[in-house]
Amino acid sequence: MDRNNDYPPDLPTSDPPSFQEPTLDCCVIISTDVRDRDGNTHFRRDAVIVKNGQSAPFNRAGDLLDGKDEMDDSSIDSSSSDEIQSDEEDSDNHPKQNEIAYLIHEDIRDAIHGRVIRGTVLRRSNPDDVWTETTEQCAIKEMSWESIRNGRNEQMAENPEDEIAAMQHLMRFYSNDLGVQEVSATAGMRNTRIIMPLDCLYDHQNVYTIIPYCNGGELFDLLGARRRFTEDESRHFLHSILDGLEWLQRAGLTHKDISLENTMVDDELTVIIDMGMCLRIPCADDGAQRHLIKSRPRCGKRYYMAPEVYNEDPFDGHAVDMWAVGVCLFMMLTGQSPWERPSILDQKFRYFTNGYLTAILTNHWNMGLSADAIDLLQRMLLLDPRDRLSLQQVRQHPWMMV
């Protein structure tokens, strides 16, 4: 059996490099007239998010400096200073046109540190025009500064600063890959299958990440409504998930929380979301070889967690994401979670990851899956990460070539 052709040497292990501190644009929530797409104007009370032209680094925006009076110069964005200058004014001191805002609609779901809201992108051609609804929908993730501060004190695994930093990192990587300075977040999301930020905003109470709206909901909910997917449907979704995972790998990131719950469907394609546990992958100084990541406290959803993460061992960022994708495929094909926890104390985990998955799915569960589908599952879900298939090997597996 082929071994993982992408696994790095065991030594050395390294801490993940820090992300560049994200920059946020200041905003206000206002009451104002909004013209709908039928041309009718409605007064929207406390429902429109508008940038006010100021910006600041994340920690300064949320007053998260732990009592420090000043920040190191390297952490302050060039647009910020003790006297933050407005980018709403041009060199002639005339107001710059503020062309984009966001209309708040209803809540979609709760989130760590806050909630997710459905929104609509608004536009106007000049400051005297009424804000007008576009056809572009968005999701607004509203997170309380107070909750973020408390989460830091409690050392929660999901970090809003890193979530925004990871998305901005991906935007920079994607634009550099295209050789352009600015890219469309919506187009970038659909091309990379990874969530991209339309805007990252803040006020005194909250931080707001504005992202494109995915019209198909969570892949987990879609599976729940169907109970299980056919092999063709599962293969289609897996191709799309692997496209997103390849972009993460190219950008030097490990998501660490890939799951059906963190995979959205948009026009029958998948989009990987929720980057709050994302890490940069350490590499040798020449960038030629990535390192294993030093052991870290256990975090993530237990069903999808690789055993090396569960055991708090050093781990490879590529391998733990591919493991989670294997669990996603198992759930899509069978409609069931494979085990309660990724531990040898769990009987199903012990059998499945030591080469008995084929016998159980065929002789005991009678799932009716093809031999190639079961073979791929087994080779993605082996206990030793050196024995699991890499992304490229999964793509070349006979089941994927149908």
pTM: 0.90
Same domain for 68 and 208, yes or no, is yes
Residues contacting 92, CB < 8 A, separation 6+: none
Query: Looking at residues 326-333, what average pLDDT do you find?
Result: 98
Say how far apart CA 338 and CA 365 lie, in whole Å. Answer: 12
pLDDT of 9 above 90: no
Predicted confidence at residue 92, as pLDDT, reads 37
The percent of the chain in helix, strand and coil, each rounded to the nearest 5, is 30, 25, 45
Residue 374 domain boundaries: 215-401
> For residue 383, which amino acid is it?
L
Per-residue pLDDT tens digits for 27-53: 999 999 999 999 999 999 999 999 999
Does residue 261 form part of some domain? yes
What does the alpha-carbon distance between residue 162 and residue 164 come to, in Å, rounded to a whole number?
Answer: 5
Residues 337 and 281 in one domain: yes
Statement to judge: residues 248 and 208 lie in one domain: no
Q: 282 with 139, same domain?
A: no
> In the predicted model, is pLDDT for residue 335 greater than 50?
yes
Same domain, yes or no: 91 and 66: yes
Please tell me the distance from the alpha carbon of residue 105 to that of residue 114, in angstroms, as a whole number: 15
Alpha carbons within 13 A on the beta-carbon side of 106: 1
The domain tally of the chain equals: 2
The single-letter code of the amino acid at 401 is M
Could you read off the pLDDT of 208-231 as tens digits, one per residue?
999 999 999 999 999 999 999 999
The answer to which of 61-70, 108-117, 180-189, 207-216 has the lowest mean pLDDT is: 61-70
Task: Read off the CATH number of the domain in which 376 is found.
Answer: 1.10.510.10
Closest residue by Cα to residue 284 from 8, 20, 4, 3: 8
Same domain? 220 vs 202? no
pLDDT in tens, 288-320: 799 999 999 998 899 999 999 999 999 999 999
pLDDT of residue 14: 95
Q: Would you say how long the chain is, in residues?
A: 402
Same domain, 339 and 207: no
Tokens of 168: 């901005």
